[in-house]
Chains A and B, each alone.
Chain A
Amino acid sequence: MPFRRWWITLLLLVPLSAQAFDLDDLQRQLAATPSLAGSFEQQRELADLDSSLSSQGTFLFERGKRVVWQLEQPVEERIELTPQAITDGSGENAPPGGEQVAQLFLQLLEGDWQALESRFTLALSGDRDDWQVALTPKEAALRERIAEIHLRGSDTIDHLDMRTPDGDRLKVRLFDQHPLNDS
């Protein structure tokens, strides 16, 4: 029974919180929710622009399988990201390099630290109820595209904040998140 397992996992995690909270703990904590759905608000601040691009919609997340990003405002668009491919509503080709961005996005939402660690230096702070992970690229080539990424959350990831060296910034807020039991 999934509901009972959920509680047992939580109970098991309680004594651990007394000790130092590390990335492995965080990964286990996130893995406890294999799939979830919720809403998002995305805000993109562009350096050469006074205003920002804001959008909102809903999302569906199945760990290890896919992320469905359903844009509702100001335009309707369904984007599905899987470890293999990125497909959008029109089935159009992703721009060059798009796959890598999609892969990174997926790894961030999964909290797949092992994969991320090969390219980023990770720094965890806070405790299990309010944690923050800061990611800085290790290699110069990646630093040209990404300055810094911040993740914040509790049982789930609630905030994603990505800055590029030229001053652009992507902020994503995930809210109304609820686990899906049918998986």
Chain B
Amino acid sequence: MTDRGYRWLGWLWLASLALCALWLGWMLRQGLPADTDLTALLPADRQAPLVEKADRELGRGFENRFLLLLGDDERVPTTQALGRSLQRLVDEGQLAGVDWRELDLADADPHGWMGQWRYRLLTPQWQQAIDTDGGSTLVEPALRRLFSPTARPEPVADPFGLLDAWLSRLPRSPIGAADGLLTLDAEGRQWSVLIGELKGSPYDLPMQNALHSALERFQQQHPDAELLRSGLVFHAAAGARQAKREMSTIGAASLLGVLLVIGFVFRSPRVLLQLMVPLLAGSLFALTLTLGIFGRLHLLTLAFGASLIGIAVDYVLHLQCDRVIDGRQFRLRRLMPSLTLGLISSVIAYVAQALTPMPGLRQMAAFAAFGLIGAWLTVVLWLPRFTLHASPFTARLATRWWRLCQPRWRLSPWLALAGALVLATFCGLRLTSDDSLELLNPSPAALMQDEQRVQQLLDRDTGSRYFLVRAADTQSLLTRLDMLDGSLDRAIADGLQVEYQSLAGSVPTMAEQQANLARVRKLYGAPLDALVERAGLPATVADEARARLQQAPPLTLAEWLETPLGSLQQRLWLGKTDDGGVAATVVISGARDARTDATLSTLADSPPKVEYSDRVSRIGGLLGELRRHTALWVAAAMALMTLALLWRYRGRAWRVVVPPFGATLIVLTAFAVGGVPLNIFNQLGLLLILGIGLDAGIFNVEHARKPAAWLAITLSTLTSLLAFGMLAFSATPALHYLGLTCLIGLASVWALVPWVRPEAGHSTPRRESEHV
């Protein structure tokens, strides 16, 4: 290429970057459209978009609200203090509302709005009582009820107390009222309940900070009060605080380490700046194109993608080491084959992933591939044009370091193959995998304990296990729900340790409501006359009561969901489905073990055929799928790369692949020995190892006799170790596993390179470095 053509390409690239910046600015004019929800990374469950909807409905309360339980000897004043400080947050606009006083939750009396439907709602016991003998056994209890000082008798509207019997069967909130406060009586203690409603996202930082400091202040002023927290906002806040903390410890240590190493080797701050330029250009290119293609970006894509662009440090360091050491003799052309091969091999690995059906992987792969290409173009087109202050120290260091690292003997291909087979066999036998949801959960143990206590005290489920029931219309849905409830009741009677919530428990089918009304008519015959007479009431009361039956409207599902009690069950109702039917969930709580799960799955398979979904194991399954997909595609990419390398290097190809593949095997063996299960995050770390290892292998073979190459390989593994290996000390499981993989893998890459370096042959490194 002519010098003019090269310059022209450089300006063209700069112009494209400027365009990228403009486009990105335009796309970000309303903030970064980022997903934080992990499920957004997983493929949309094509068979069951309804399952996702159910998950969203059931999880809504946990996301938009938080719940505090407060236990204290001086409960009333303490709760008032906390309630008022939360109320201040509402006044400041941070929260949408907070309920803690008795009246905050006082729904109108159910007798008021349920009354009209009572003649069509009968509990199974009452149905049986009326079917057996017309209901004469119900007279005595009704009489007692009429005269109890604490009951509220309605001799005309409801002499038998149909409504109270019905209401007492509905699941009741364990939250009651005492001392004017929302109160939970549990484990022999009174807890105050404070329920906060969020205005927007639980990830909103100013709101998190305001809430956190309000609660901190409260706990300082009331050190004896026991405060239990539940809600996504607390977990999100803990995650944000932890990220901030680690940024200032692990992050600062990494940065300082990289600065020291680069500063020590190059003795020039300019090299540092030039190190950053390609990375920034690559990130800009990647962010713009990925956002342009996908429309949205997941935060995890951003984090891992940016990490993968770190591979581009290789290109910079190889180029700079060469320039510093060769001085005027430096020719880009000599480096081009290795740089190009390095880029192509890494990009192949990512393109392979971009073909997977996993949107999360596709995004991440696209981001990393664009980033590498952008960084590579910057390195090749612009870096040689920047002036570089070459310190003679760097060249001396390279030579000394080169001599120091001459291995006593070298690996033979057969020994390498044998070693690989042994390690692979061992991994095959011992390596386990873990796809549990906990990996994604960065919450501290104390918060998880709080969460569990609250769930336990409230006897509340998180809505993670449910049956999904569909039907053509509401009536057949209720029928199917009713059938499912029947099977559940029988299973529970047989010892299944669960409870369930179902809409059919609240709204009987039209047929049953009709039958109930007929039963009530029967009850309002002789039994009613007997009741009125024994109560000493005039006989006209019975007639008036009977007249009420003329107007007994049926209870529909829509009407029920509108009532205050029904709104508590709103989350069970999924409404219209895409195929024109309707759907609802039946939420399961209680025992969680393999046997229970098996029983529930069997129930789902027997009529009426429904779908059983366990969100925890389902997401675990999806994570596992993500992990297996990555592994499969990476293995395919490795095979493809090996072919490409064989084509160029022939008999020396094994020397190129030993660092990346050997390091991968060493990491896996270390995990197998240490009992660390394989998960999606350490696999993503392996991608980084493969990229850096492959670059090291290529340069090691292409420039076998150049101390500059070995210095660059050392520097690139060391800086990557500092940047990513340090993450092993993170408390966030995802980052910890990524870091651990990088720590072991990068060290292995570096250690393996000298053993597979081609023999010096006729030319010695000393002679080559004499040019300097």
Which residues of A are at the interface with B, using a C-beta cutoff of 8 A?
Answer: 42, 44, 46, 48-51, 53-55, 69, 71, 74-75, 77, 79, 81, 86, 88-90, 92-102, 105, 115, 118-119, 139-141, 144-145, 168, 170, 172
Closest CB-CB distance, A115 to chain B, in whole Å?
A: 8
How far, in whole Å, are A144 and B108 apart by their CA atoms in the complex? 9
> B197: CB under 8 A from chain A?
no
Q: Does more than half of chain B's interface fall in helix, strand or loop, or is it mixed?
A: loop
Selected from A53, A96, A101, the residue in CB contact (under 8 A) with B168 is A96
Tell whether, in the assembled complex, residue A139 and residue B147 are in contact, meaning their CB atoms are under 8 Å apart. no
Closest 3 CB pairs of A and B: A95-B164, A141-B106, A55-B147
Selected from B106, B155, B179, the residue in CB contact (under 8 A) with A46 is B155
How far, in whole Å, are A95 and B152 apart by their CA atoms in the complex? 10
Give the residue among A53, A75, A140 with the most B Cβ atoms within 10 A: A75
Q: What is the number of residues of chain B that contact chain A, defined by CB distance less than 8 Å?
A: 37
The 29 listed contacts between A and B (C-beta, < 8 Å) are: A51-B536, A53-B153, A53-B155, A53-B536, A53-B537, A54-B536, A71-B147, A74-B143, A74-B534, A75-B140, A75-B147, A77-B144, A79-B149, A81-B150, A88-B148, A92-B141, A93-B168, A96-B164, A96-B168, A100-B177, A101-B150, A102-B150, A105-B150, A119-B180, A139-B103, A141-B103, A141-B106, A144-B108, A170-B149
> B385: CB under 8 A from chain A?
no
Contacts of A44 in B (CB 8 A): 147, 153
Contacts of B411 in A (CB 8 A): none
Closest CB-CB distance, A103 to chain B, in whole Å?
A: 8
Tell whether, in the assembled complex, residue A69 and residue B179 are in contact, meaning their CB atoms are under 8 Å apart. no
How far, in whole Å, are A88 and B146 apart by their CA atoms in the complex? 13
Tell whether, in the assembled complex, residue A49 and residue B156 are in contact, meaning their CB atoms are under 8 Å apart. yes
With A95-B168, A141-B103: A75-B534 Cβ-Cβ less than 8 Å:
yes
> B176: CB under 8 A from chain A?
yes
Which residues of B are at the interface with A, using a C-beta cutoff of 8 A?
Answer: 102-103, 106, 108-110, 140-141, 143-144, 146-157, 161, 164, 167-168, 172, 176-177, 179-180, 534-538, 541
How far, in whole Å, are A88 and B109 apart by their CA atoms in the complex? 23
Tell whether, in the assembled complex, residue A88 and residue B180 are in contact, meaning their CB atoms are under 8 Å apart. no
Closest CB-CB distance, B326 to chain A, in whole Å?
A: 86
Contacts of B103 in A (CB 8 A): 139-141
How far, in whole Å, are A49 and B152 apart by their CA atoms in the complex? 14
Tell whether, in the assembled complex, residue B110 and residue A74 are in contact, meaning their CB atoms are under 8 Å apart. no
Selected from A89, A102, A168, the residue in CB contact (under 8 A) with B144 is A89
Contacts of A51 in B (CB 8 A): 536-538
Selected from A48, A55, A98, A118, the residue in CB contact (under 8 A) with B156 is A48
Identify the closest chain A residue to B179 (Cβ): A118
With A95-B161, A139-B103: A69-B534 Cβ-Cβ less than 8 Å:
no
How far, in whole Å, are A49 and B153 apart by their CA atoms in the complex? 11
Tell whether, in the assembled complex, residue A42 and residue B149 are in contact, meaning their CB atoms are under 8 Å apart. yes
Closest CB-CB distance, B434 to chain A, in whole Å?
A: 46
Tell whether, in the assembled complex, residue A86 and residue B150 are in contact, meaning their CB atoms are under 8 Å apart. yes
Closest CB-CB distance, A87 to chain B, in whole Å?
A: 11
Contacts of A145 in B (CB 8 A): 109
Tell whether, in the assembled complex, residue B536 and residue A98 are in contact, meaning their CB atoms are under 8 Å apart. no
How far, in whole Å, are A145 and B102 apart by their CA atoms in the complex? 15
Contacts of A172 in B (CB 8 A): 149
Identify the closest chain B residue to A49 (Cβ): B155
